[in-house]
Amino acid sequence: MDRIAELTHHFSQIKSAIQHAESAANRERGSVHLLAVSKTKPASDIEALFRLGQRQFGENYVQEAVNKIDSLSDLDIEWHYIGHIQSNKTKIIATAFDWVHTIDREKIASRLNEARVGKPLNILIQVNVDLAETKSGVAPGDLKRLAETIWALPNLRLRGLMSIPDPVSEEDLKRSHQTLRSLFEELKQAHPAPEIFDTLSMGMTNDLALAVTEGSTMVRIGTALFGARPPKDSL
Ligand SMILES: *Cc1c(COP(=O)(O)O)cnc(C)c1O
């Protein structure tokens, strides 16, 4: 199979897996967005999926992403930054992307706010639901405070929450998803504009259906769409 045929096949498989999970969970068709995670993959793959109707793409590495964003600038793509954020990269992230999923501290939020020009940047707070020591994300107990800081920043628009659960048992995953969901509902109650707080970014290739069952509105899919990545990029 050539690459285009392969991507076409994967894309339709994922679309139907999402639809299947939506109906199994009694959720409205189209309530779960697909974020195509294209890190390490060439711009030609992104363009091929775009031609099939995919609009939202996620990237993890700033320089690699910026090269692709530049080369695909004539396509109407919504770019999501889902990688770790170094503070010396905030300016370029605030300029090149439409969404950032990985905010976990005030300093980064205020730097993005200062650098953003034009339409507000859509923001998700990354929560360290499992309180894993090695992982980024705000602790659940500090979430409200960080949210309040972001609400006050005019160039950021807080849209929801995100998590990267540890690869664990299905039962633990389910518990993580449920925790994130309830933090989301709780914060929505407090949000000054709850109608824009509409995004729960959870679920990857291995837990797509489970995440949709537990209320995800955006699944971030890399491997199942594009195939395996080089070993170093296991995330
Ligand atoms: C790489 C990555 C994904 C995609 O993971 P797959 O298992 O390949 O679907 C999703 N979210 C984040 C934050 C990632 O870094």
Ligand 1 pocket, 17 CB below 6 A? no
Mean pLDDT within 138-143:
96
Q: How far is the CA of 220 from the centre of ligand 1 (A)?
A: 6
Q: 235 pLDDT exceeds 60? A: no
CATH architecture, range 3-227: Alpha-Beta Barrel (3.20)
111-116: long-range contacts, CB 8 A cutoff, minimum separation 24: 111/87, 112/155, 112/156, 113/153, 113/154, 113/155, 113/156, 114/155, 115/90, 115/91, 116/155, 116/156
Contacts of residue 211, Cβ cutoff 8 Å, sequence gap at least 6: 177, 202, 203, 204, 219
Q: What share of the chain is helix, strand, coil (3-state, %, to 5)?
A: 50, 15, 35
pLDDT-derived band at 78 (thresholds 50, 70, 90) equals: very high
Find out whether the beta carbon of 187 lies less than 6 Å from any atom of ligand 1. Answer: no
Question: For atom 1 of ligand 1, which residue has the closest CA?
Answer: 235
Ligand 1 contact, 54 CB (< 6 A): no
**Which residue's CA lies nearest to atom 12 of ligand 1?**
82
| pLDDT value for 61 | 97
pLDDT tens, position by position, 83-122: 999 999 999 999 999 999 999 999 999 999 999 999 999 9
DSSP category for residue 219 = E
Given a cut of 90, whether residue 202 has pLDDT beyond it is yes
The whole-model pTM stands at 0.96
- What is the model's pLDDT at position 233? 56
| Mean pLDDT confidence for 19-23 | 97
Question: What residue type is assigned to position 155 of the chain?
Answer: N
How many angstroms separate the alpha carbon of residue 235 from the centre of ligand 1? 5
The atom number, within ligand 1, closest to the CA of 37 reads: 4
For residue 140 the two structure tokens come to 């659940």
234 pLDDT exceeds 60? no
Average pLDDT, the chain: 95
Question: How high is the pLDDT of residue 205?
Answer: 96
| Sequence spans of domains, the chain | 3-227
